[in-house]
Structure 1
Amino acid sequence: MLPGELRMVDDLATENGFDVVPGIFLGRDHIPGLMDVMRTWSENRESFPSILGFSVEGPLLGRTGGVPPRGIWSPTAREWESIAALGHLGLRYIVMGPDMGDLDDELDDGLTYRNVIDLCYSNGVKIALGHFQHDAPERSAERTRAVIAHVQDRHGPGPDVLLTDHLYNDMPRAFRHVWRTPEERARRAEQLAPVLAADWESADLDRLLGPVPATLLRAARDGELLPFLNFDGDHVDLAVCRRTVEHLGPERLIGITDDTSVPFLAGEKLHHREGSGLWYRGDGIVAAGSGGLATQRRHVSDIADTTAFDHLFRHNPRRALTPVRELVPAATSAAPTGSALTGEGIGRV
C-alpha cells in the first residue's frame, strides 16, 4: 500500500459511510514501506477520517490456505520489536497462528511466543487468531485455548482484547463450510444437512464442527474474544453464517470483507473465476474476496434483523479497534527500531 492508496481507501469508505482498517500481509521486506504508510497516516489523521488504523497478517501463519509465501517468515527479536512498535503508528491488530508452538517455545534467542504476545499488547497491538495449521486439530485447539487464557489473564478480561481472523476459513474443520464449484454445489444440501439439523446449544461442537472452530465459538460465548466472519457468501456459505449469528448473536461477532479491488497480493498476481467473487492465486488457492459492503449488507439483512448489520460492521469493530492501553502519540514516541530492511508493503482492505 502506498500513501496515495490511503486516499482512495478513505474516499471509498467515506462514500459508503463506514470506517475501515486496511489489512496487509507482512513480509520481512515490507516493514519499511509499511512504516512509511503508517507514519503518513499517523501524522495526517485528520485527512483520513474513515481509516481507523491498520492490521497485518503474519509472520506466524500456517502454510495451508491463501497465505503468500512472503508472509511466512521467522523474525528476529529486533524485528519483533519493530513490528510491535508499529502500534504507535496505528497498527491495531496482527493476525498470527496460535498453534505455531507452545507459549514457552523459543522463537529467537531468549524470545518466546509468550514474550511476542506480551510485546504486541504492551505496544497497543491486539492479537487476532487465524491461519491455523491443519495437521493436528486437537493440538491446535489446545494451543489456542492456552493463548486465550494467557491473553485474558494478562491483558483482559473481556472479549475486546482478543480477536480472530475470518471464522472457519484457514482452520481445520470437521464439516464443509462452503461450496464453490458446480460439482461441489451438487452435494451442498447433503453435506450441509447435519450442520443445520444439529442444535448447536446442546450438540458436541468439537465433533460437529471440529475442535478449533468449537473452541473459538465457546470463547466468544464466554466473552473471551470477538471473532470475524465474512458474509460475502463466497468465503462461508450463508446458511452457516446464519447459524453462527443465531448461536453467538450479532453482538459477539465482527463482519469482515477480506476485500481487495486490485489483482495482486504480496507480489502475486490474482484472477477471478466465472461465477465467483473471489480472487484466486495462480495455483488455484483463494487469496481474497471482492464482495464489498453492499454485498455484505444485503446478505446480513437476509440472515438477521435490521440491527445486526450495525453491530457487525459499526459498533463491534469500534470496540475491537480501541487500543488496550493508552499509547504515546506517534509524533513524540520513539520510531520503530529494526534491522536494515528494504522494500514496500502491499495492502488490501
Structure 2
Amino acid sequence: MAERTLRVRRLVAGAEVIEHAELVLDGEWIVEIRPDRRGPGQHDGWLVPGFVDTHCHGAAGADFSDADGVATILEHHRDHGTTAMIGSLVSAPVADLATRLRSLPRDVPGLIGWHLEGPFLSVARCGAHDPEVLTDPDPASVRTLIEAGGGALRMITLAPELSGAMGAIDAFTAAGVQVAFGHSDADATTTREAVRRGAVVATHLFNAMRPIHHRDPGPVPVLLTESDVTAELIADGHHLDDDVIKLAVDAAGPERIALITDAMAATGLADGAYPLGSMTAEVAGGLARIRNADGSLGSIAGSTLTMDAAFERLVGLGYPIPDVAVMAATTPARTHRIDNAGVLAPGQPADAVLVDDEGRRQGVLWRGRWRESPAA
C-alpha cells in the first residue's frame, strides 16, 4: 500500500511535542513521525494518542454482559476517541461470570480483554453492585474465574479486607491478571499490604472506598503515594469535585493517573431507566443512580461519560494537553501492558485523536483512517 501523510500543527509523541509534524502512514501503521518543513499543517490542532479506557461497562443501550452488544459499545466509544478498551462486567455469581467470560468474544479489534468488577467486594462499599451476589474469594472461585477467562481476563477488582483476599491477590497476580483495589472498607495497613502483594490499580479512586480522615487515613493516601499504584479517576463532574481531581493528579502525577469512563448502557442515550447487571439505574441529567426497591434513588451507578469529555475536562482544569494525553492513553496502556496503544510512534497502529487547544475532540483516527473528516 502506498504511503500517505497527515500534517498537523502539533503532535504528542511520548514526552516530545513536535511542532508542525508530519505523520507518515502505511495502511494502518505509523511509519515515521517527522517535522513538517512546509509550515502550518493540514490540521490545525493537536494529534494525541487514541484514548485507552480500561474501565467501561457499556454504551448506546448495550452492556458488556451481553455478547451481542460488544460491537455497539466499541463503535460508540470509538467515535469519542477510545481506540483501545478493557470491557468491564459488574458483580454476579461466580458461575455466571465464568459463563460470560467463556462466551464473550475475543480478538476483537480495539478490545483488549475483560475486567471483573466483583464479586469479591465489600458489602459496606458495594455502590451500584448487588450486595446479594457479593462473596469472599475462596480458592475454588478464584481458580474458576482464572480458567474461564484464560488470557482474556486482564483485571479484577476486589476488596483486600475480605477473608481469603490476600491469597486471591497472589493467585490472580501469578496468573497474569491485574488486581485492582476497590469497593473496599480497608484501612491503610491492609491497603498497603494489598499493594505489596500486587494490587497496583485503584478502581475509581475515592469512590466506593473509605474516605480520608486525619486520624484514620484509610486507603486513599496509600493509593496516592505508593509509586507502583495507578489510580483511576472518573472526571465526569459527578463522581469527583474538580478540586479532588486536582489533588489526585498533583499528588500522583500524570504517570500514575488513568482517566476512565466507568460508562454504562445509558451512555449516549436520553434520560431514563436502564439495566445495570441485576439492578436498574435511573439516569437524570447524565447522572445515573441505582433505583432501590422502594423507588428511591441510591448510589451513583457508573457514568454516562466518554473519554473525549474527560479529556476536555482535564484540559479545562489547566493541565497541559501532553499531560492529559498521558492520563488518557499512555498511563493506562503502560499499566495494563497493552501493546500497540497509548503512544504515537513508528511501528504503532495509527490510532489518534485530534483536539483543539481547549482539548475538544475534532476528529478520530482509527487504523489510519478518519472516522469523520476533521476541519482542515
Deviations, residues 222-263 of structure 1 (Å, cap 9, x unaligned): x22111111111100112102221222111111111111241
Cα pair 2:188 2:217 within 8 Å, conserved? no
Please say if 1:163 is aligned against 2:178.
no
Distance 1:10 1:276, change over 3 A: closer
What root-mean-square deviation, in Å, do the aligned CA atoms of Structure 1 and Structure 2 show?
A: 2.2
Does 1:2 find its partner at 2:66?
yes
Contact 1:57 1:71 (8 Å CA) reproduced: no
Distance across 2 between alignment mates of 1:298 and 1:209: 35
The answer for the alignment partner of 2:223 in structure 1 is 216
More strand, by proportion: 2
Q: Is the 8 A contact 2:98 2:145 kept in 1?
A: no
- Aligned residue pairs total 258
- TM-score normalised by structure 1 residue count: 0.68
1:16 corresponds to 2:80: yes
Deviation for aligned residue 1:70? 4.4
CA apart distance, 1:299? 0.6
Partner of residue 337, structure 1:
none
Q: CA–CA distance in 2 between the matches of 1:87 and 1:68?
A: 22
Identical positions, percent: 20
Amino acid at match of 1:77: P
Contact between 1:87 and 1:124, CA under 8 Å: does it hold in 2? no
1:147 matched to 2:209? no
Q: What is the aligned partner in structure 2 of residue 53 from structure 1?
A: 113
- The within-5 A match list for 1:72-221 is 72-74=134-136, 76-101=138-163, 107=164, 113-133=165-185, 140-151=187-198, 162-174=200-212, 207=214, 210-219=217-226
2:369 corresponds in structure 1 to: none
From 221, 230, 236, the equivalent of 2:234 is: 230
C-alpha distance in 1, partners of 2:322/2:215?
A: 29
Query: What is the SS of the residue equivalent to 1:307?
Result: helix
| Counterpart for residue 294 of structure 1 | 308
Shift of 1:142: 0.9
Name the structure with the higher helix share. Answer: 1
**Do the aligned residues in 2 keep the contact of 1:92 with 1:126 (CA within 8 Å)?**
yes
Indicate if the aligned counterparts of 1:271 and 1:280 stay in contact, CA closer than 8 A: yes
Larger radius of gyration: 2
Q: Please report the TM-score for the alignment, with normalisation by the length of structure 2.
A: 0.63
2:157 and 2:203 in contact (8 A); partners too? yes
Q: Distance in 2 between matches of 1:3 and 1:296?
A: 27
Report what 2:290 is aligned to. 280
Question: Is there any run of 5+ residues in structure 2 with no aligned partner, and where?
Answer: 1-64, 267-273, 339-376
* Distance in 2, Cα, partners of 1:17 & 1:150: 34
The DSSP-based 3-state class of the residue aligned with 1:30 is helix
Distance 1:129 1:76, change over 3 A: closer
**Helix, strand or coil at the partner of 2:321:** coil
For 2:195 and 2:178, how far apart are their aligned partners in 1?
Answer: 12
Counterpart contact for 1:87–1:123, Cα < 8 Å: no
SS of equivalent to 2:89: strand
Residue 253 of structure 1 pairs with residue 265 of structure 2: no
Q: Tell me if structure 2 keeps the 8 A contact 1:56–1:94.
A: yes
Contact 2:286–2:303 (CA<8 Å) still a contact in 1?
no
**Hey, what's the Cα distance between the residues in 2 that align with 1:251 and 1:169?**
20
Unmatched runs of 5 consecutive residues or more in structure 1: 102-106, 108-112, 134-138, 152-160, 175-205, 324-349
1:318 pairs with 333, 341, 349, which one?
Answer: 333
1:34 maps to 2:100: yes
Could you say which residue in structure 2 is the equivalent of 1:178? Answer: none
Equivalent pair of 1:21/1:54 in contact (CA under 8 Å):
yes
- Corresponding position: 1:62 with 2:122: yes
1:303-348 per-residue CA deviation (whole Å, 9 max, x = no partner) reads 211112221121111112228xxxxxxxxxxxxxxxxxxxxxxxxx
Letter in 1 for 2:254: P
- Quick one: distance in 2 between partners of 1:207 and 1:114? 26
Alignment CA distance shift 1:253-1:314 (3 Å): same
Secondary structure, counterpart of 1:269 in structure 2 = strand
Structure 1 residue 31 displacement after superposition: 2.3
Secondary structure of residue in 1 paired with 2:219: helix
Q: Does 1:243 align with 2:240?
A: no
The question of whether the paired residues in 1 share the 8 Å contact of 2:265 and 2:276 is answered with no
Aligned position for 1:200: none
Whole-angstrom distance in 2 between the partners of 1:130 and 1:211: 12
- Give 1:86 shift: 4.0
Determine the C-alpha separation between the residues in 2 that align with 1:16 and 1:291. Answer: 10
